[in-house]
Amino acid sequence: MNILVIHQYFLEKDDPGGSRFNEMAKIWVEEGHQVTVLCGMLNYLTGKIPETYAGLKYHRSAYQPGLEVLRCYVSPEYYSSFIGRLRAYFSFVWYGIWGGLFKLKGEKYDVIVATSPPLFIGIVAWVLSRLKRIPYVFEVRDLWPESAIDTGVLQNKFMISAAFALERFIYRTAFMINVLTPAFRDKLITLKKIADRKITMIPNACDFSMTDPLLNTFNREQFRKERGWDDKFVVTYVGVHGVANHLIQMVEVAERMKDSSVRIVLIGDGVQKPALKEVTKKRNLANVEFIDSMPKREVMKFILASDVGASVLKNVDTFKTVYSNKTFDYMACQVPILMLIDGVSRQLVEDAACGVYAEPENIDDIVEKIGNLSRDAGHSREMGQRGYSYAKGHFDRNVLAKNYIREIQKRLEIV
């Protein structure tokens, strides 16, 4: 098949961040398919357009044999304000449609796969689907606009109504909807009234091709010694430092445990990082370590050297429906999980018996659970190994990527 993927946040090579489609597309190409990705230029961790694209509206390149990437201009006002974020979303809508029509003119695709958020990416998919006369798959990686409402990003009543109307339109016009969690499926069926037959579920997954070689070669003890971790109990969070993640709770945990061997390591970038660093400095907390974003292969070494991997989100109802991306990286690295997200993420950890749940934003509970983990290293290692085994059986990205393609092909035959 010849597949057009629309993904506003598709990463550059070796960029940190969520790499679901970078890895998925690579597997599709290995399976003999052609893939073109239509995506944005803006780096969403730095909030800047890389120098490579300065002054450009479009840039096309070969990501690898069989995989082409067309990057479109996106307004760099993404983090300036709510209006700035809307400008970024709609600039991608405009340039994405134009690029899809005229920069990819004459190219024949069998299917479009559009992955959200943002929800507005569905506009690009629908327009190109109609004009190129090919069906589109819409992937739900986040329940939007619910998550934007719960985190306070979206408050205007008119905008909320318009967002729900757009959501309904996209669900109705997509020929297939892929969801990442069972809770998303339930929500779409019960609340959105989407027919079950229209929905499939290909969740986030583990990239064992990256972690398995490291498990055999990585010198964990040497790495910990070099980092000054050899006498510490290291709890590591990897991911965005944003409003939705509410990482101030991890700083508060560190303050409560500053006289213990516990070290809180926060890896990544985001709009909240400067404020978190300032709070840590004011409270004179020596047991919090901030590390900037880095390529995923390097991040895996930090996870492997940690005692616990933390999955953290703000305590709102919408996040009870999500799987945290980094949970799967922790599982692939045989690291036990401190799960600070209720709902399906908690259920995943409990089903796999690969970690412990603590109530998000409940500092007493979090401190207690970390203390329990630190006092029983043997049990913690067993949980990490169970998580790895469970992920091998249920969340192998290589297997799921192939299932995704087979599901699309099966449904295209019906269409």
CATH number at residue 307: 3.40.50.2000
Percentage of residues in the chain having pLDDT higher than 70: 99
Q: Peptide bond preceding 117: is omega within 30 degrees of 0, i.e. cis?
A: yes
Is the pLDDT at 24 greater than 70? The verdict is yes
3-state SS, 264-302, equals: EEEECCCCCHHHHHHHHHHCCCCCEEEECCCCHHHHHHH
Q: Which domain holds residue 60?
A: 2-205+396-414
Residue 97 and residue 125 in contact, taking contact as beta carbons nearer than 8 Å: no
Does residue 222 share a domain with residue 167? no
Does residue 222 share a domain with residue 160? no
Does residue 162 share a domain with residue 245? no
Does residue 227 share a domain with residue 324? yes
* Lowest mean pLDDT across 108-122, 148-162, 247-261, 291-305: 148-162
Give the Cβ contact number of residue 327 at 10 Å. 27
Q: How far is CA 234 from the centre of its chain?
A: 23
Please give the order of strands across the beta sheet that includes 262-267.
288-291, 262-267, 233-238, 308-312, 337-340, 355-357
Does residue 25 share a domain with residue 171? yes
**Coil, strand or helix at 206:** strand
Does residue 405 share a domain with residue 328? no
Does residue 296 share a domain with residue 183? no
Find, among 114, 139, 180, 174, the residue nearest to 415 by Cα.
174
Is the pLDDT at 415 greater than 70? The verdict is no
Over range 19-39, report the average pLDDT.
Answer: 94
Does residue 359 share a domain with residue 302? yes
Residue 131 and residue 158 in contact, taking contact as beta carbons nearer than 8 Å: no
Is the pLDDT at 351 greater than 90? The verdict is yes
**Coil, strand or helix at 232:** coil
**Coil, strand or helix at 326:** helix
CA triplet 246, 292, 331: central angle to 5 degrees? 70
Does residue 223 share a domain with residue 146? no
Does residue 242 share a domain with residue 111? no
Note the residue count of the chain.
415
Give dist(CA 120, CA 115) in Å, integer.
10
Domain count, the chain: 2
Q: What are phi and psi of 363, to 5 degrees?
A: -65, -40
- Do the bridges between strand 308-312 and strand 233-238 make them parallel or antiparallel, or are there none, so unpaired? parallel
- What helix, strand, coil percent values describe the chain, rounded to 5? 50, 20, 35
Does residue 229 share a domain with residue 310? yes
Does residue 191 share a domain with residue 105? yes
Q: Is the dihedral of CA 156, 157, 162, 165 positive or negative?
A: positive
Give the Cβ contact number of residue 267 at 10 Å. 22
Over range 171-190, report the average pLDDT.
Answer: 95
Is the pLDDT at 134 greater than 70? The verdict is yes
Is the pLDDT at 61 greater than 90? The verdict is yes
Give dist(CA 350, CA 371) in Å, integer.
19
pLDDT of residue 414: 67
Q: What are phi and psi of 86, to 5 degrees?
A: -60, -40
End-to-end CA distance of the chain: 15
Over range 94-98, report the average pLDDT.
Answer: 97
For residue 49, give every residue at least 6 positions away whose Cβ sits within 8 Å of its Cβ, in sequence order, or none: 41, 42, 43, 73, 74, 76
Is the pLDDT at 221 greater than 80? The verdict is yes
Q: Tell me the per-residue pLDDT of 113-129, one tens digit each, with 9 for 90 and over.
A: 999 989 999 999 999 99
Amino acid making up residue 299:
V
Is the pLDDT at 138 greater than 90? The verdict is yes
Residue 297 and residue 333 in contact, taking contact as beta carbons nearer than 8 Å: no
